[in-house]
Amino acid sequence: MYKSELDRYEISDEDITHLHDTVGKVLEIFKTMSSTTPMETRTYEQIKELIGVDTLKTLQLLGFNFKTAIGEPLTQLCANAIFSKFKNPQNIVRKNKK
């Protein structure tokens, strides 16, 4: 049963490398879209380091859910960055708002 659950969440080394590279690029885009403080820059780098092959493999073996921990905040960060570009973001209808 544990093996089937692990297989459900396990990410291959190739996928992890691709994920790490892509998220790194996305974080760079976010940094250029906003005025980033040194603390925010450090946070971006820490997030990027979380998705290194060794770290990701170890954490996922322990049951860490990257979709919830990283995917959802990145989705919100992207949405916030997009909404911040509008003069009056309150007038934008947000779908799936909880």
Asked if 8 and 65 touch (Cβ cutoff 8 Å), the reply is no
Q: Where are the domains of the chain?
A: 2-91
Q: Is pLDDT above 80 for 97? A: no
Q: What is the mean pLDDT of the chain?
A: 76
- pLDDT tens for 81-95 read 788 877 665 655 555
Q: Is pLDDT above 70 for 70? A: yes
Provide CB contacts within 8 A for 31, sequence distance 6+. 40, 41, 44
